[in-house]
Structure 1
Amino acid sequence: MLQSSLGLGVAALGLGPVGKLLAKAGSGLGVSPGYGPLAPVRDRATGLPLLRLPAGFEYTSFGWAGEEIAPGQACPGKHDGMGVVGAEGDIVTLVRNHELTKEPGGSFAPASATYNPDVRGGTVTLRFDTARGEFVDALPSLSGTQVNCAGGVTPWGSWLSCEEVVVQAGQKVRMGDGAVHEMKRSHGFIFEVPGKGLSNAEPLLAMGQMKHEAAAVDPRDGIVYLTEDHKPHAGFYRFIPRTPGELHRGGRLQMLRAEGAPDLRTGCRVGDVMKVRWVDIDEPTRGTDSDGGPGGLVRQGLANGGTAFIRLEGVIVEQGRVFFISTSGGDAGCGQMWAYRPAEGLLELVFESPSREVLDYPDNIVASPRGGLVICEDSVQPVQRLYGLDRAGGLFEFCRNNVVLDGHRGFSGDFREEEWAGACFSPDGRWLFANVYEPGFTVAITGPWRPGLI
């Protein structure tokens, strides 16, 4: 695209370790042996072979759907995005999203942490003892929200829980029990959940009403980068807070514009570099478009000159760069990864999957303390995997969903096609946490980690 006119490439961008490994992966430098072949490993908590892992790795499951999280209140299912929001000694605190849409039952959190009592999405806060390798407890921390998909951890120790739906107050929605509810409040917002205690359940309206996916805060200036899981068009956004670290005070929402490139869904080459500027979103709370659909924000941005992507999902800030995923982007429709460098105002395509055999529908991502990257898969494949991308740019399969249940905790069936989500590391790097979306549980994985892998 614009690489030749700018005279820029990977070397000129001066990418850090994550950027270099992605650039190497994108240039086709290969497949990594990773930690070796996978085999079934029994869960320390249930004794069941829920995962396939390399030799020497072990794990424990916890936070299952159906477990009691408050007196008379069962843990909801559809375990999605998650992050580590704090640690006190060996006790790590995580906040986990539950992507519930039309499930009956209403809010599972206390009234003070409930936004709309008719709906059941929200978050659960969990604690895990990294010294003992054991689950401690779980408590509801936000509910009455809808389709809480991904989100992101803030530098000040909270979790941004993102609704991946646009619903207006007064809209009638048929719930899973067949009842029709008239929505008391609008949805499609971001909610902040503190590392300790309950959310105030107040939407951060200035951050927009849209099909939110993930969020990542740049610790240098407090700007929040946001992805939108929408098709056929999606935007990549930034929120400039009026007061860094105090998102409730409002700010300015903008969409990325790549100069000379109004549409980056297809037709790109790995290494393409383009200049970036940002266009304003004039009405952040107008999430519905003219035909009643959920594309109000992206249409505003495109009308102001913003660039179209498709199905944007995971986003992280590493080494001063913002990496984000387009799950179904690229000529093969199997996924792209982009890198935005704020200091230079440049955007580069650093990886594009050429086929489903290489990588299919990457979703949540997290950087490893050992120099690699963990990629959650959410594809149409019959088995879902956690991938690793090593420091040399080699892709490898690290973990495979092996969940087949016969009545355990009331669940029966083959769940191997259920997605991975919410991958994150403990502060000491010894434990990798991740969620199996259905039947709904979290795993903590540990083992013989090696530098340069994940």
Structure 2
Amino acid sequence: MTTHSNPLQRRSFLKAAAGVGAAAAVASPFRAMGARAASPDRAQNPGGGSGKPSGVGYGPLAPVRDETSGLELLMLPKGFEYISYGWTNDAMTDGRATPGAHDGMAAFRTNDGVRLVRNHEQGLGAPFAPAANTYDPAAGGGTTTMLFDPDAGQWRESYASLSGTIRNCAGGPTPHGTWISCEENLTIPGPGNTATRLHGYNFEVPANGMASGEALVAMGRFNHEATATDPTTGYVYQTEDTGDSVLYRFRPNDPVNLAAGGVLEAMALAGTTDTRQWMTGQSDTASWVVVDDPDPQTNDYAMSTRGQAAAKGAALITRGEGAWFGNGVVYIVASNGGPLRLGQVFAYDPITNDFSCVFASTSAELLGAPDNICVSPRGGIVLCEDGSGLEYMHGLTPDGQIFRFAQNNVVLPADVMAAKGYSGSGDYTGSEWAGATFEPKNGNWMFANLQSPGITFAITGPWRKGTL
């Protein structure tokens, strides 16, 4: 199996893409979802009380062959097709090997097609980008950038764009065409590690170019997970992946130059300091407290950003992970929040300051441990699952119904394992989904990653038949 560069069965792909046409009108905002989903059972199990997804979305899932490898890597609804690319160890067009542990990602329209910036959640080790684009020469995480031609349905280019970071989980796109890549790590150089610089920061990567490797110190030093930028104000909302995390807001001095500094704040709520048990429909009014020292040089809790915020009354969120701005609100995922610790989705309205729980899972069959999130051009939400057992990408409709859109079906034969240099059984069906993002112009293509063995997919099909 090789990096995809030549057309393979293009006619069906182009027909599917052309059939989608321009994006449908954006669905009504999710900010009223809590009211519409007054009955959690009805909202989450529209077919009845079996606890299983039933009948919403795009229909049943079935194995679909990859146009690159010919393998049935994914299960998708009827009419959807995909092209894999950027497998771990594949040679990129810059001559470097594709790093592993694919994670968060975003897509950007440029003059030459669609650029995607993709995270790699790797730890200490050899960096994979040039020295000029490396933060710490002892760290092996970072980003790669890919070019996709949406009209031809072809992958064109890939290269290393940032390295020298640790555990780049997610991040978020900005309105000025960059990707914020987040370190979920707090390594301090010292005995027991080889790090040469402090970690726990955000880094900015241009959609078409290379990162400088400069840490965005003013945005805070903590276990970063994801960001969502309000295009009106330029405020950047940030999640933190810990059991006692808070929701941060960064008010930049210059929205198009995040390195110019700004003010880091944390969300407080009028009626509570803890959202970790919230159910669907619960809400409160948000305000913001200043984090006095956004760059603590220690990992002591009292001096940490979340410790400072909690001391001022900031509200706790358990394992804040995915974040995305869409439908006029900021969506936040709490990976193991809710009464059953199966995951919550929150929405913050920056105009009304309403913070609400728009979905809390009541069954592992419905949703278990959501992580990355994105909003489609049609208004629907995609949730990437990172739980146990088989892993799914889920859709969430405007009236609060959840459905399975894609299933990880990656079981690689021995010859493919050997050719790729992989070890293990070849069964990757338990690997997490990550990095879901839509081509932003008309949403004809959705891109997503499977973290292991590390594969990126471009998926197309009859999107307008549903909300994604």
**TM-score, reference length from structure 1:** 0.89
Query: Deviations 1:122-170 (Å, cap 9, x if unpaired)?
Result: 0000001111111111010000011000000000000000000001133
Gaps of 5+ in 1: 1-14, 174-180
| Counterpart residue number, 2:68 | 45
Closer, same or farther in 2 for the Cα pair 1:269/1:53, shift >3 Å? closer
Counterparts of 1:34-433 in structure 2 under 5 Å?
A: 34-69=57-92, 73-88=96-111, 91-102=113-124, 104=125, 106-170=126-190, 172-173=192-193, 181=194, 183-231=195-243, 233-266=244-277, 268-286=278-296, 288-290=298-300, 296-380=304-388, 382-406=389-413, 407-408=415-416, 409-411=420-422, 412-427=425-440, 428-433=442-447
> Counterpart of 2:412 in 1: which secondary structure?
strand
Q: C-alpha offsets along residues 246-301 of structure 1, whole Å, 9 cap, x if unaligned?
A: 111000001100122011111x342222121111111111164337x9x8221111
Number of equivalent positions: 424
Amino acid at match of 1:48: L
Which runs of 5 or more residues in structure 2 are unaligned? Answer: 1-26, 47-54
How far 1:305 moved relative to its partner?
1.3
Counterpart code for 2:150: T
Higher strand share: 1
Answer whether contact 1:213 1:226 (CA < 8 A) is retained.
yes
Which amino acid is 2:253 matched to? R
Change (3 A) 1:453 1:21: farther
In structure 2, the CA distance between the partners of 1:76 and 1:38, relative to structure 1 (3 Å rule), is same
Residue 438 of structure 1: aligned partner: 452
Q: Is the 8 A contact 1:214 1:226 kept in 2?
A: yes
Partner of 1:5: none
- TM-score, normalised with respect to structure 2: 0.87
Counterpart Cα distance in 2 of 1:126 and 1:70 = 9
Q: Cα gap change, 1:184/1:302 in structure 2, threshold over 3 Å: closer, same or farther? A: same
Residues 59 and 438 (structure 1), Cα distance of their counterparts in 2 relative to 1, 3 Å cut = same
Contact 1:335 1:361 in 2 (8 A): yes
CA distance in 1, matches of 2:86, 2:34: 33
Q: CA deviation at 1:214?
A: 0.4
Secondary structure, aligned partner of 1:450? helix
Query: What secondary structure sits across from 2:259 in the alignment?
Result: helix
- Asked if structure 1 preserves the Cα contact closer than 8 Å seen for 2:109 and 2:439, the reply is no
Equivalent AA in structure 2 for residue 450 of structure 1 = R
One-letter amino acid of the counterpart of residue 297, structure 1: T
Secondary structure at the aligned position of 1:213 is classed as strand
Contact 1:99 1:147 in 2 (8 A): yes
- Per the alignment, residue 11 of structure 2 pairs with none
